[in-house]
Structure 1
Amino acid sequence: MKLANFEFEGQTGFGIVEETTVVDMTDAVEGISSLQDLVERGSAAVLNSAGKGRRLSLDEVTLLPPIARPEKILCIGVNYGNRNAEYKDGSDLPKYPSLFMRSASSFVGHGAALERPRVSEQLDYEGEIAIVIGKTGRHISRERAADHIFGLTICNEGTVRDWLYHGKFNVTQGKNFDRSGSLGPWIVTRDECDPMGELAVETRVNGEVRQSDTTANLMFPFDYLISYLSTFTTLRPGDIISTGTPIGAGVRMDPPVWLKPGDVVEVEVSGIGTLSNTICDEEPSDA
């Protein structure tokens, strides 16, 4: 099942995506008025017996990030094996995942513009697969990890490269500019897209393929990530784990190529769909 958050005529809701339409399921089940509410129920199966609302064309609605206010957005760095070699620093493969966190305000939905901030021209793309947690857990075993996945979505983990190096030990600044990344266009539930199977991810800029790889090349597979992260933090419904990007980001080109206003970035993942965003400059502020 594909499930999307949307805005239509000034009202937010969620629904089931069927080809070029979305079937409005907002308040079709008592107590469930958002995708977050549904994820907290742990299963989309409750929708199967619910009455269906209006059918809207996807062209009519504004798609929003699938989870509006996740408690945690956990991001994994350097997770594809050949990405470690891309750094050309002679380092061994890492023993543990690299990790940082992002705020919900740093993401927009499918079709919205990503903002190149006024303080930098070094906005870059990172196409990724993102896990949406559907069941609370701590110290989760790898064998039970799939039970805690509600579904999968797509992430463009947009990065402002020069701001990654403002601190000695962190990358937080460059990873959290408002509206610099995107999530969507929807969540595909795990019964329709096996999170433990091999998935392909491809990133295109203005139609040119920049990144292409499969999860077969992950150093830390999804089940490992869930087990590892749950060792130190309780994973809760609606938490998002962005699982790492393949080689080919703009920073690694010679010379580096940054995103500029008017560019179109598409991240396509097999079994999920395509997340597409244009680039614009940050609007001036009176503050």
Structure 2
Amino acid sequence: MKLLRFGEPGKERPGILDDGGAIRDLSGIVSDIDAGTLPDLDRLRGLDVSALPLVPGTPRIGPCIARVGNFIAVGLNYADHAREAGMAIPEEPILFNKAPSSLSGPDDPIRIPRGSDKLDWEVEIAIVIGQPLHEVSAEEAVRGIAGYCICHDVSERTWQQERGGQWTKGKSAPGFGPLGPWLVTPDEIADVQSLALSLDVNGQRMQTGTTETMIFPIAHLVTYIASFMRLEPGDVITTGTPPGVGMGMTPPRFLKAGDVVELAIEGLGHQRQEIVAS
């Protein structure tokens, strides 16, 4: 299944893609795509999707999950990205938080925050948790995943690296977490550790990678994080980015007003954001 949320910000409704790629309205079946819906996705698998109301036109697509509790991120999870950042390959996953208030729709504009001067891009695959998980095996961790989606881990490098403290401050401004367009359930993905990722800026390819080169694969990440905390339905884990970010270029390149960023992950769809001035 490919689940989504459509409508104006704060007024999104749940939807599902039919076999032809059209949006069908799920609001008569579930109230939203959130922690209340994710533990029981089997009830949606039995639906006759073609019988659901067809959503007309091309509505705005919102973040594919509502009311996210924890928005957890993994840093330096691709060896070649760690090298371009001038950092050692980690022996254990590097974890930090993004504020849930940073979530936005996959095609919403990204506003440059006041005082930002090093706005950077990162295409990532995100995990959405579907069952409570704590102290679990890798097999249990995989069974507890509701699905996957694209995350743009937008980053302000001055705030992340030059202002002291944790990375969270450079990762959490409004609009710094475009998520979606769809939540794709695991049965739709043959091998989550063999998906192509890409990111373009103004039509120029910046990032090309594959989940095959992750240092810590998805099952390990969920198991590792669940050893320290209880993961809940609707929690999001974004899993790191391949090489090609702006800060790794010579000279470094950062986003400015008017730039257009396009992201894609095999099987998970496409995002497009325009960068706008503060």
Q: TM-score range by the shorter chain?
A: over 0.9
Corresponding residue number in structure 2 for 1:55: 54
Distance 1:175 1:197, change over 3 A: closer
Structure 2: 5+ residue stretches without partners: none
Matching residue within 56, 69, 72 for 1:71: 69
1:46, CA displacement in angstroms? 2.9
Corresponding residue number in structure 2 for 1:285: none
1:45, CA displacement in angstroms? 4.1
When normalised by structure 2's length, the TM-score is 0.92
1:167, CA displacement in angstroms? 4.4
CA contact (8 A) 2:263 2:272 kept: yes
Taking the aligned partners of 2:144 and 2:9, their CA distance within structure 1 comes to 34
160-169 or 133-142, larger mean C-alpha shift: 160-169
Taking the aligned partners of 2:142 and 2:265, their CA distance within structure 1 comes to 19
Offset from partner CA, 1:228-259 (integer Å, 9 cap, x none) = 00001111111101000011111111111111
Taking the aligned partners of 2:10 and 2:251, their CA distance within structure 1 comes to 44
Taking the aligned partners of 1:249 and 1:274, their CA distance within structure 2 comes to 18
* Structure 1 runs of 4+ with >6 Å offset: none
Distance 1:35 1:126, change over 3 A: same
1:50, CA displacement in angstroms? 6.1
Distance 1:101 1:53, change over 3 A: same
CA contact (8 A) 1:38 1:44 kept: no
Corresponding residue number in structure 2 for 1:80: 78
Corresponding residue number in structure 2 for 1:43: 41
Distance 1:75 1:10, change over 3 A: closer
Matching residue within 178, 181, 199 for 2:177: 181
Taking the aligned partners of 2:252 and 2:197, their CA distance within structure 1 comes to 22
Say which structure is richer in strand. 1
1:65, CA displacement in angstroms? 0.5
Matching residue within 165, 181, 205 for 1:169: 165
Corresponding residue number in structure 2 for 1:17: 17
Distance 1:16 1:101, change over 3 A: same
Corresponding residue number in structure 2 for 1:261: 257
Offset from partner CA, 1:204-233 (integer Å, 9 cap, x none) = 111111011111111000000000000011
Distance 1:10 1:69, change over 3 A: closer
Alignment of 1:196-215 (within 5 A): 196-215=192-211
Taking the aligned partners of 1:72 and 1:195, their CA distance within structure 2 comes to 25
1:166, CA displacement in angstroms? 4.9
Corresponding residue number in structure 1 for 2:236: 240
Corresponding residue number in structure 1 for 2:3: 3
- Between the aligned residues of both structures, percent identity stands at 34
Instruction: Number of aligned residue pairs: give it.
Output: 276
3-state DSSP of counterpart to 1:162:
helix
1:84, CA displacement in angstroms? 2.1
1:193, CA displacement in angstroms? 1.5
Distance 1:240 1:117, change over 3 A: same
Structure 1: 5+ residue stretches without partners: 283-287
